[in-house]
Amino acid sequence: MGQPQQSDGSEGAKPPLRVGMVGYAFMGAAHSQGWRTVGHVFDLPRRPVLAAICGRDAAAVRAAAVRHGWAAAETDWRALIARDDVDLVDICTPGDSHAEIALAALAAGKHVLCEKPLANTVAEAEVMAMAAQAAYEQGQLTMVGFNYRRVPATALARRMVAEGRLGTLRHVRVTYLQDWLVDPGFPLTWRLRKERAGSGSLGDLGAHIVDLAQYLAGERLAGVSALTETFVRERPLPGGPTAGLSADSSAVGTGQVTVDDAAVFTGRFISGALASFEATRYATGRKNALRIELNGERGSLAFDLERLNELRYHDGTEPAAHAGFRRILVTESDHPYLDAWWPPGHGLGYEHTFVHQARDLVHAIAEGRRPEPSFADGLQVQRVLAAVEESAEKNSVYTPIAV
């Protein structure tokens, strides 16, 4: 009935996959959960080992190592990459360091998992994608952490689209709404500085929905037309030596917000299907509201992250007398990822997407198969984000995306 896999004592015989992770905050905790759990749930060809975690604050990173089960702690990512007991480097840092760490890890012969967005600029992402291709030819694999692909319901939606259940695609509409910046007194964190984050809601939330839309549609965007806005242009500076980098109630002075607070854009897929996107951190009352709907000639699919064990499906070929959207409870053992979890009806949560991400990467490494999404996929998303910024800056009607 899809119960969690229990160790039969043979785990030690499987070759280890020794993971070193850079970063230990929100995403570091989420990735740690994935690596710590995956081998206890799925029957894997290699055994993940939490070898070392890295962060600049020695006391904080040691505490994170103990809390999350890492065997060692480092305060310099270069030292982590140089360790002989690290096979894969997992990058969970702000975007301004992704390229430098990833390129060094690939040069050292490591596999790399990098959080989204892949980089802060298209130029950085291009260099990373080229390095990833060269490394692939040497047997090293790379993947971008777009975890919403790993929700069983979205994976099922992709399967249904690929099977032709929607027919020719007509529309995709996506929103990703949060509200954590509504208070103008919230301090100037690194996420609000372009040199650290690359962009604001666009890179933080927009990267997710661009990737998810293209993944579910099975095709890429060809061009966009966009608007962006920064609603609060100055915020309190946190006091002390970490000014501008962390939320601190003892704020002194103010600093300029240099990223977007919200982005709204339309797009056209290569096939001609139309798309609309909204990403904001100012939707009062919305905490992590991601919704996507796809409409085709034969049917429609809709997903809401706040009901992440459900998928809504309308079969447009049914007689109108009893047609309509129906709820699919995505907990059956033949649904994606769910053969290893609980009996039907027992739902999963946000953290399980990182377990599934780890599962897919371990299998790809063991099989020598390029994981998805690849650095090339991450580069393409970066190009979409850059086109959105260009369109918004020029107030242009349509900005094509480079291939």
Instruction: Give the pLDDT of residue 387.
Output: 97
Of the residues 147, 176, 208, which one is the last residue of a structural domain?
A: 147
Of the residues 147, 173, 193, which one is the last residue of a structural domain?
A: 147
Range of the domain at 63: 11-147
Decide if 227 is inside a domain.
yes
What are the residues whose beta carbons fall under 8 Å from the beta carbon of 299, sequence distance 6 or more? 165, 166, 167, 313, 314, 315, 316, 317
Decide if 215 is inside a domain.
yes
Of the residues 131, 147, 163, which one is the last residue of a structural domain?
A: 147
| 343 touches 1 (CB < 8 A) | yes
Q: Per-residue pLDDT tens for 279-320? A: 999 999 999 999 999 999 999 999 999 999 999 999 999 999
Q: Per-residue pLDDT tens for 195-227? A: 999 999 999 999 999 999 999 999 999 999 999
Instruction: Give the pLDDT of residue 243.
Output: 39
Same domain flag for 241 and 386: yes
| 352 touches 35 (CB < 8 A) | no
Decide if 59 is inside a domain.
yes
| Percent of the residues in the chain that have a pLDDT greater than 70, as a whole number | 93
Instruction: Give the pLDDT of residue 401.
Output: 81
| 231 touches 257 (CB < 8 A) | no
Q: Domain tally for the chain?
A: 2
| 2 touches 342 (CB < 8 A) | yes
Cα distance between residue 24 and residue 66, in whole Å: 11
Confidence of residue 247 (pLDDT cuts 50, 70, 90): very low
Q: Per-residue pLDDT tens for 75-118? A: 999 999 999 999 999 999 999 999 999 999 999 999 999 999 99
Same domain flag for 173 and 322: yes
Same domain flag for 123 and 160: no
What's the token pair of residue 361? Answer: 């990467």
Confidence of residue 366 (pLDDT cuts 50, 70, 90): very high
Q: Per-residue pLDDT tens for 139-180? A: 999 999 999 999 999 999 999 999 999 999 999 999 999 999
Decide if 6 is inside a domain.
no
- The residue written with tokens 């969970």 in the block is 92
The model's pTM is 0.92
For residues 223-236, give the mean pLDDT: 96
| 371 touches 143 (CB < 8 A) | yes
Cα distance between residue 150 and residue 347, in whole Å: 14
The CATH number of the domain holding residue 130 is: 3.40.50.720
Q: Per-residue pLDDT tens for 43-70? A: 999 999 999 999 999 999 999 999 999 9
What's the token pair of residue 323? Answer: 């047609």
Same domain flag for 98 and 235: no
